Amino acid sequence: MRQYATVRVALRALWVHKGRSFLTSLGIVIGIGSVIAMVSAGEGVEQKLDESMETVGKNIILVRPGARSRAGAIADATPLTRDDAALIRKQVGRLLKGVAEVQITQRRVASDAAAWITLVTGTVPELQAVRDWKLTSGRYFTREETAEAANVCVIGQTVRSKLFPNDSDPLGKAVRIDDRLRLRVIGVLASKGRNPAGADQDDEIFTPFTTLQRKLVGEERISAILAAARSDAVLGQARDEIVRAMRQAHRVASGAEDFDVSTVQEMAEVAYVITSAVQALVAVIASLSLLVGGIGIMNIMLVSVTERTREIGLRMAVGATAGHILAQFLTEAVVLSLLGGVLGVASGLGAAAVVAKALDWPIIISPVIVVVAVGVSAGVGVFFGFYPAWKASRLDPIEALRYE
């Protein structure tokens, strides 16, 4: 009952100056709200990035011509060849699900209903094992069709919607590339969305490597070689062995490579680092806000002690001990801080929901961070409220009653 009475007196004192109490808690509100909103946003970004990586393939290894510097510049660009891909299959095949060389060009494609500019990719049937992309209808082209340079293709959902807006299953229909090459649609890929770089993975047409080279571009070159490790556990080893095989194929020493080998995970790490850096920066700013809010609580509590000196003296005169006074003012400080914590949690959740809806990513609220936020706000109240409460408990009752 004594503790209940202490809390009731503290709440009554804060309610008398409710406007001042709210403004005092504002720093805590901003700090806690910022932490919750940014942690939620950061986790939402990471989940969205993970989903994008799943569509690209987390275990993908990309071999590109030209050594890339830290600044991203390409130097000593020696073209890749099908012999490079064959050597990777031979030496690293035990660690890989597949290897697919690709040649990419941007062309105008048309159907009887519409026209569209998109990427046309020449590749091999192993791309299905490498990318693990699903089909909504039809099939991939075969080794025989690749050997024969057959006029067939597999299209993405964006291409389907642009060229066949009124046909959800255009199997057997024809598409024309630059009005030179006529291809028959034998498969439609399931929607994959955008990759981590923001490119539309559904805006692409796939055709046999030989068909693209012999009947459209008229040259034998490779834009890149894609490989997929069998698991996360062997991804690093597979990458290192591909580097070793490429050095052998190009007859170059370590440090003099004329090619670049990277993994999708390495590319995604940049985004993770940026996200973590932003979250750390927000945490620092939020900590400063909590510090300012704590100082505000201490300041208001000191003012309150001064304003209520006679009240303190009267309570002591009728039997209140120094411990009772300490508990009362400490409770007021904690309530102020908890009020800010609760309002901060509510504002943070609201801000997280607005940001998630605006940017179209999932809302991820960790119960742990909410509990920690409330706990931190209570801790701020105890830390910054202790000195004013201690000062109030040390007042001399006689002098307090004489205070004007």
Backbone angles phi, psi at 41, to 5 degrees: -65, -45
Yes or no: say if 181 and 115 are a contact pair by the CB < 8 Å rule: no
The two tokens of residue 323 are 């411990």
Bigger pLDDT: 107 vs 378: 107
| Cβ neighbours for 252, distance < 8 A, ≥ 6 positions apart | 258
- pLDDT band at 91, cuts 50/70/90? very high
**Residue-wise pLDDT tens digits, 5-14:** 666 766 776 7
Percent of the chain with pLDDT strictly greater than 90: 26
pLDDT mean over 332-341: 80
Which pLDDT score is estimated for 57?
67
Q: pTM for the full model?
A: 0.63
Yes or no: say if 263 and 96 are a contact pair by the CB < 8 Å rule: no
Specify the residue for token string 């399931």. 190
Which pLDDT score is estimated for 1?
40
**Boundaries of every domain in the chain:** 2-52+269-402, 94-232
Bigger pLDDT: 53 vs 130: 130
| Cβ neighbours for 190, distance < 8 A, ≥ 6 positions apart | 133, 134, 135, 136, 157
pLDDT mean over 106-127: 92
Bigger pLDDT: 79 vs 122: 122
Total Cβ atoms within 10 A of residue 197: 10
Which pLDDT score is estimated for 73?
46
Q: List the one residue out of 267, 264, 247 whose CA is nearest residue 256.
A: 247
pLDDT mean over 237-250: 90
